[in-house]
């Protein structure tokens, strides 16, 4: 009689939670001063616990967060991928120009150097901006999309206020048949709602096992529910 | 030359939390005694809300495979029609199911779309299968999942090329308009190197492992177990718990695995 187990023994370390990178690119230019940057900070503070809650609903997935800020230059606000359980929000301040191209280029570079492969979940990238890029956005987008992970990512853009470069945000989203549109945040409650949705809905959709031909269509349906403005006050 | 096969499935932890059924399905034959022919296949119904009948779609994918492959094993010269056969049979079975259980009002056709895809979409599923007669071994796949063959010299390989043109968690599916073009298949003749071990599994198994090498290592171990004269039935009996362990500690997805072994040392005959 053999003592050998009838199935392979799984060695420690052979199984692993899949990582889901959530990256924010946040506009901190001069036009964000005052109510807008305060609302953005409030929105991030409110969204992170909700993201944690979504992550806890999907314990097989390890959600990691990184934050890029851009004003006259683009630089990491939270540069190491940080487990959502350990995230503490540090307020952003505003001033300067809008180096969005450099921000996207750096994110593409970071994605290239991150762990990748078919078993890793596609990242979620949230871009929020209230203006027009002041650096070379074409070069930035080109470098961003040269990363396979950036192309595979779920990309959500939030247009803050009414003077936003929607064309650039749509190029960033590059949604098939333009099914996903930039979210519009024309006042503080809308911004909070949009950041919360952009943080949690794609993570929920991405971290649940879906293996479907088209993950974006479900998100697009979900996003339509956000369209009604929640306040008459407009930036 | 004879084969014996078996398989099992385990519902994923995330499906239990989200109150979804096990959306995988499988078939394995022969399970009770060895036979010159075998068939194994697994199907993985898509998980998001749009695919709300994908558990049925996966079951119908298995039925379509059995019907199409049986005919192709008897008429291997017609192998070129296999992709079309599988998709047509699956579509016929889906329409029959809708006949018995109509789609909810408003779900018959999505606005702005004019193809039958809208009635097939709720049933969307992948399919990975292998079957052999004494003359031919046929491997077939649409969408994600794993199909590996083992050989007498201990090597393990994937006979079908990986899909291209997909991003992230996307997969090709039986519900797509161009499904027949997305079906990959290969016929291995008896005159070629013949596998002695076959494994098919849904992506919930391989994605639980830290990398592909760790998964292939486990496949190699399965081959060694069932080829070394261990009791295949004991392996099959232990599979559900093993799959649950894999899903709970890795993917969280439904996990389904079938295997077949040639010239199994028949202890029960």
CB A17 within 8 A of CB A62: yes
Q: Chain A: give the shortest CA distance to residue B13, in Å.
A: 9
Cβ neighbours, 10 Å, residue B48: 21
Of A38-52, A195-209, B104-118, give the lowest mean pLDDT range: B104-118
- A209:B239 CB<8 A: no
Shortest alpha-carbon distance between residue A191 and chain B (Å): 27
**Distance (Å) from the alpha carbon of B167 to chain A's nearest alpha carbon:** 5
The reply to whether B177 touches chain A by the CB within 8 Å rule is: no
* pLDDT of B26 higher than 50: yes
Chain B 130-159, CB below 8 Å of chain A: which residues? 143-144
Q: Model confidence over B215-269: pLDDT tens digits?
A: 999 999 999 999 887 688 999 999 999 999 999 888 888 999 999 998 744 344 3
* Terminal-residue alpha carbon distance, chain A: 78
Q: What is the mean pLDDT of residues B164-172?
A: 79
Q: pLDDT for A135-168, tens place per residue? A: 999 999 999 999 988 988 889 999 999 899 999 9
Other CB atoms within 10 Å distance of the CB of residue A231: 11
Domain B3-240+257-262 architecture: 4-Layer Sandwich (3.60)
Nearest-CA residue of chain B relative to A20?
B168
Determine whether the interchain pair B48/A15 forms a contact, defined as Cβ–Cβ distance below 8 Å: no
The CA distance from B252 to B210, in Å, is 14
| Domain extents in chain A | 18-224
B200 lies within 8 A of chain A by CB: no
Q: What is the pLDDT of residues A87-129, one digit of tens each?
A: 999 999 999 999 999 999 999 999 987 766 556 788 999 999 9
The minimal CB distance from A212 to the residues B171, B212, B242 is found for B171
Provide the shortest C-alpha distance from residue A118 to chain B (in Å): 7
CATH code of the domain occupying A18-224: 3.40.50.410
Asked if residues B224 and B197 have their Cβ atoms less than 8 Å apart, the reply is: no
- Whether B267 has its CB under 8 Å from any CB of chain A: the answer is no
Instruction: Provide ipTM, 2 decimals.
Output: 0.85
pLDDT at A205 over 60: yes
Rg (CA), chain B: 18
| B66 has a chain A CB within 8 A of its CB | no
């Amino acid at each position: 009689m053999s003592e050998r187990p009838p199935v392979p023994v799984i060695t420690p370390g052979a199984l692993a939670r899949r990582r889901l990178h959530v990256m924010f690119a946040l506009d901190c230019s001069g036009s964000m001063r005052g109510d807008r940057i305060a609302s953005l900070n409030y929105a991030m503070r409110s969204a992170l616990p909700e993201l944690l809650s979504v992550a806890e609903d999907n314990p097989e997935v390890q959600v990691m967060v990184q934050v890029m800020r851009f004003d006259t230059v683009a630089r990491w606000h939270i540069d190491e991928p940080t487990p959502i359980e350990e995230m503490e929000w540090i307020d952003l301040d505003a001033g300067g120009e809008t180096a969005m191209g450099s921000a996207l280029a750096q994110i593409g570079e970071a994605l290239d150097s991150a762990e990748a492969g078919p078993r890793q979940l596609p990242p979620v990238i949230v871009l929020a901006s209230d203006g027009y890029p002041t650096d070379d956005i074409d070069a930035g987008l080109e470098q961003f999309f040269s990363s396979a992970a950036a192309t595979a990512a779920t990309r959500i853009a939030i247009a803050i206020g009414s003077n936003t470069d929607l064309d650039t945000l749509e190029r960033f989203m590059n949604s098939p048949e333009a099914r996903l549109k930039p979210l519009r945040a024309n006042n503080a409650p809308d911004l909070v709602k949009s950041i919360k949705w952009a943080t949690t809905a794609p993570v929920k959709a991405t971290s649940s096992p879906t293996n479907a031909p088209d993950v974006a269509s479900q998100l697009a349906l979900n996003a339509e529910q956000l369209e009604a403005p929640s306040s008459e006050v407009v930036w | 030359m004879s084969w014996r096969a078996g398989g099992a499935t385990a519902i994923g932890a995330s499906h239990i939390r989200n109150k979804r059924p096990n959306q995988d399905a499988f078939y394995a034959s022969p399970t009770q005694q060895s036979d010159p022919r075998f068939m194994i296949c697994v199907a993985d119904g898509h998980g998001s809300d749009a695919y709300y009948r994908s558990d049925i779609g996966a079951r119908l994918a298995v039925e379509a495979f059995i019907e199409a492959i049986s005919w192709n094993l008897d008429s291997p010269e017609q192998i070129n029609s296999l992709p079309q056969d599988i998709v047509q049979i699956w579509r016929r079975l889906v329409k029959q199911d809708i006949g018995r259980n109509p789609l909810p009002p408003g779900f018959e056709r999505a606005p702005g779309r004019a193809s039958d895809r809208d009635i097939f979409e709720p049933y969307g599923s992948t399919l990975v299968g292998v079957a052999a007669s004494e003359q031919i071994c046929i491997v077939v796949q649409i969408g994600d999942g794993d199909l590996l063959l083992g050989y007498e010299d201990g090597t393990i390989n994937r006979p079908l090329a990986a899909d291209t043109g997909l991003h992230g968690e996307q997969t090709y599916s039986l519900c797509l308009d161009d499904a027949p073009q997305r079906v990959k298949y290969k016929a291995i003749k008896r005159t070629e190197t013949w596998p002695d071990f076959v494994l098919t599994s849904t992506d919930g198994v391989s994605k639980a492992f830290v990398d592909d090498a760790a998964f292939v290592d486990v496949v190699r171990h399965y081959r060694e177990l069932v080829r070394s004269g261990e009791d295949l039935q004991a392996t099959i009996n232990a599979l559900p718990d093993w799959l649950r362990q894999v899903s709970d500690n890795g993917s969280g997805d439904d996990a389904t695995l079938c295997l077949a072994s040639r010239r199994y040392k028949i202890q029960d005959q």
